Amino acid sequence: MQHFDIAVIGSGSGNSIIDERFSHLDVALIEDNPVFGGTCLNRGCIPTKMFVVAAESAMAPRQAARLGVDLDFKGADWPAIRDRVFGRIDPISAAGREWRRNGPGVTLFEGHASFVDAHTLLVGDVQISADQIVIATGSRPRPLSIEVPEELRSRFYTSDDVMRIAELPRRLIVLGGGFVACEFAQIFAGLGSQVTQINRSEVLLRGEDHEVSEAFKEEQAKLVNLILNQKISAAETGPDGEVLVITTDRNGVEYEYLADAVLVATGRVRNSDSLNLAAAGVEVGPGGQIRVDKYQRTSQPNIWALGDVSSNYLLKHVANAEARTVAANLLAGDGQLVATDHRYVPHAVFTDPQIASVGATEQQLREWGTPYVVARQRYADVAYGWALEDEGHFVKLLADPRTWHLLGAHIIGPQAATLIQPMIQAMSLGNTVQELARGQYWIHPALPEVLENALLGLLKEAAPKELEN
């Protein structure tokens, strides 16, 4: 049986651990996925954002009309868009696999890994052992809760495969109300599909601040046929061979929707269930989440975990941060371990409008009984917002009236994913609202003035906001 100093399961963020610092060690890298490099590169955040940019261009006429400019959308060349995206991504993935196959210091095993014990892995029909093992197996789309007739299964997609379809569907049903569902609904609607988005609750993007979520729902309903408080109960073949999706509302009333394709985007499942973790003594929590401490150690001190399989945050930038922690700790001596900083984890939703958030929402502060002050600033009330003819978009900031540190920042509107960064930086570095608002210049009349004005709005608050019952 071949023995290694370190074995890493997963070629996404786990692969980034193995750099020149590990050149003196024998390292095994294990990947059973047909694509190399993880979800973000191949099936997630990178290709989706490339499609988002294409869809934004397609929707430009709608935006331009408000500015007195007449543009005409003549259609989208789906194969060209698809091939542009994967013509860049696929060679990167292939090159990464080839590098690990033939590069120095790493032995690549291509097969499924499962634990025999805390130091032994079965990869296909080969056993290997390692002093330290890293689990970085990510997550996968949650499967549909109903049985789909065999003749229709080729019409049902997930985020894993929908971006590689042969042609743009004329009619698309999107199941789900999270960020994956909302982004894809807009991508396909922008490129010309008739999109019906069906969500089992009345809330879209339920993790967002309530005001942001409600504002987004209004905007989404302008772009797609938005159906709320219904869930899929059956799928049948329609009268012309299309998909007939049958839904049920809370009162048991049935509804029918026809489509050429269906995208299932109802959440993700952690890839921990097939690793035989019990054999290694690795503890698993609800939803298959591997339990780790602040150092990314599992219940077995020689086994580490990172990313979607163990994190509270299914976000690539968090997985990368956790990978850096694991890398440092694999090389560290006893008593020199470093912890991952999960205090201020931001996220963004690349829809139109964009959404970005960091820190607590107002509803969370109310639930916790935390004193806070709140300020809202409309894009429409700053000069660049005038240029955009902006309607309905805003920045919402929450601060501690005792320390004047930010507690949360939430943005819905153009460039939100970029605008949020100074707020993340301020929270991470401990800057006060006063320091952030008046300790630097804000370019006039650039869009960041919407942040400046929101910060100044916080400073106008003299007393804690009364918590609402």
**Nearest partner of 107 among 21, 22, 35, judged by Cα:** 22
8 Å CB contact between 132 and 304: yes
Report the DSSP pairing between strands 126-135 and 120-123. antiparallel
What span, in angstroms and rounded, lies between the C-alpha atoms of 308 and 63?
36
- The set of catalytic residues is 444
Helix (H/G/I), strand (E/B), else coil: 66: coil
**Angle made by CA atoms 75, 78, 84, in degrees to the nearest 5:** 120
Instruction: Work out the widest C-alpha separation in the chain, in whole angstroms.
Output: 72
The two tokens of residue 282 are 């690795």
What span, in angstroms and rounded, lies between the C-alpha atoms of 264 and 227?
15
| Beta bridge partner(s), residue 9 | 30, 135
What is the helix (H) or strand (E) element at residue 320, kind and residue range? helix 316-331
What span, in angstroms and rounded, lies between the C-alpha atoms of 381 and 121?
60
What span, in angstroms and rounded, lies between the C-alpha atoms of 91 and 97?
10
The strand order across the sheet containing 347-349 reads 347-349, 355-359, 406-412, 394-399, 373-378
